[in-house]
Amino acid sequence: MAVTAPRTIPLVDLSTFTKGDEAQRKAFVEQLGSAFHNIGFVGVTGHGIPKDLIDDFYVAAKQFFALPVEVKRKYEVAGAAGQRGYTSFGKEHAKQSQVADLKEFFQIGQELADKSDSAFEANPQVSEVPEFMKLGTQLYRAFEASGASLLRAIALYLGLEEGYFDQYINDGMSILRAIHYPPITQEPASAIRAEQHEDINLITLLVGASAGGLQLQNTAGEWQEIVPENDEIVINVGDMLQRHTNNYLKSTTHRVVNPPREQWHEPRLSIPFFLHPRPEMKLDVLPSTVTADRPQAYEPITAGEYLDERLREIGLKK
C-alpha cells in the first residue's frame, strides 16, 4: 500500500465559493482566511484553470527553454527589470543572498487593449515558439480570474466588501513566470534552485511543478516539503498582502532545494503567477488590523513604490 505523507498545508475547494450556497461560501472564507493567517500557504482545487491549458503551456515553455541561449537572449527586454521576457541563468538572487539562484525564467505581463497605458511594457513575441505567448496569455487570464475569486473570499474574511480588491487588480501588474531550473552538472558552490525568500506581490498561484523541492518554513523554523496532488494549485500570501493586513495574513518564507545527486540530471519547470495590483494601490495598513497586540507595523507606501524597492534588492533593477 502506498504511504501518503501527511499534508503540510490545508486543501480547499474554490468551487464551493464560486458556485456554492451561502453556508458553503462562509465555510470557504473561514478555511482560506485561517490558512492565510496561520500558515500563509494553501492548496486549492476547483480553481477553474483548465488542465489542458496548463499542460500545453508546459510543453511550449520546455520548447522555449530548449532553445540556444543566444536565441533566448534576444528576448531580454532592456530596461524592464526582468518584468517582461527572458532573464538568463544566474541573474536573480534572494534579497539577503549574494549568490544567484540556479534558474532562468521568462515573464509575461498584462496585455491591455489600450496600449497607451505607460505603466505597462510590451511583451515580446517568441517567433521560434509561437504557441508560447499565445498560451501564456490565455493562462494569464485564467490565473487572474482564479486569483480574483480568492481575493474576494479574503476581502470577506477581513470584513471588507467582497469587491474590495477588484478595483486594484483589474488591469493590474500581475506577472506569469515560467521558471526553468536546468539539470545540475557539478556540485554547486552554495546556491540552491531558489534561495529562501518571500514573494513581493499580493498572492502567488503556483501550478504543479515538474519535480519536488518546494519547501516552506513553519513557525517553528523547520522546513517542510510541499507536495501538491493532481490538479491542486499552491497559493501563498505575498509581502504586499502581509503589509496591507499588518502581518495578520502571513507571507511565509519558502525555497526550492536541489534534488539528491541521483536526480541532478532532471530539470525542473514551474509556473508561478504573481498577482500584483495596479501601482497606485495604497498598501497602507488596514485600520481594522491594528489592535493593542498588533500595533501598526508599517508606514504608508504604494504598490508601485514598494515593487521598485524590492526589484532593486533582488538584483533585477539598477
Which spans of this chain sit near ligand AKG (rule: CB under 6 A)? 179, 194, 199, 206, 209, 214, 254, 256, 270, 272
Closest CA to 32 of 10, 51, 49: 10
User: Least distance to ligand AKG from the beta carbon of 214, Å?
Assistant: 4
- How far apart (Å, rounded) are the C-alpha atoms in residues 65 and 80? 20
User: Nearest distance from residue 258's CB to ligand AKG, in Å?
Assistant: 12
Q: CA angle at residue 308 from 70 to 154, to 5 degrees?
A: 110
d(CA 84, CA 107): 5
Q: Which residues lie near Fe ion (CB under 5 A)?
A: 199
Closest separation between CB of residue 159 and Fe ion, Å? 28
Q: Give the Cα-Cα-Cα angle 43, 49, 54 (nearest 5 degrees).
A: 95
User: Which residue number, 152 or 268, has a Cβ lying nearer to ligand AKG?
Assistant: 268
**Residue 169 vs 256, nearer CB to ligand AKG:** 256
Q: Pick from Fe ion, ligand AKG, none: which does 200 bind, CB < 5 to 8 A by kind?
A: none
Closer to ligand AKG at the Cβ: 24 or 217? Answer: 217
Shortest Å distance, C-beta 206 to ligand AKG: 6
**In sequence order, what are the beta bridge partners of 76?**
85
CB under 5 to 8 A by kind: which of ligand AKG, Fe ion, none does 206 bind? ligand AKG
Q: What are the residues whose beta carbons fall under 8 Å from the beta carbon of 184, sequence distance 6 or more?
A: 102, 258, 259, 264
Using DSSP's 3-state secondary structure scheme, residue 280 falls into coil
Which residues are registered as beta bridge partners of 179? 105, 270
Please state the closest distance from residue 20 (CB atom) to ligand AKG, in A.
29
Answer with the entry of Fe ion, ligand AKG, none that 209 interacts with (C-beta below 5 to 8 A by kind).
ligand AKG
Say which entry of Fe ion, ligand AKG, none residue 151 contacts (CB below 5 to 8 A, set by partner kind). none
Tell me the closest approach of the beta carbon of residue 199 to Fe ion, in angstroms. 4
The one of ligand AKG, Fe ion, none whose footprint includes residue 175, by CB under 5 to 8 A per kind, is none
Judged by beta carbon, residue 175 or residue 303, the one nearer ligand AKG is 175
User: Going along the chain, which residue ranges are E strands?
Assistant: 11-13, 41-45, 85-87, 104-109, 175-181, 194-197, 203-207, 214-217, 223-225, 233-237, 254-256, 268-275
CB closer to ligand AKG out of 254 and 278: 254
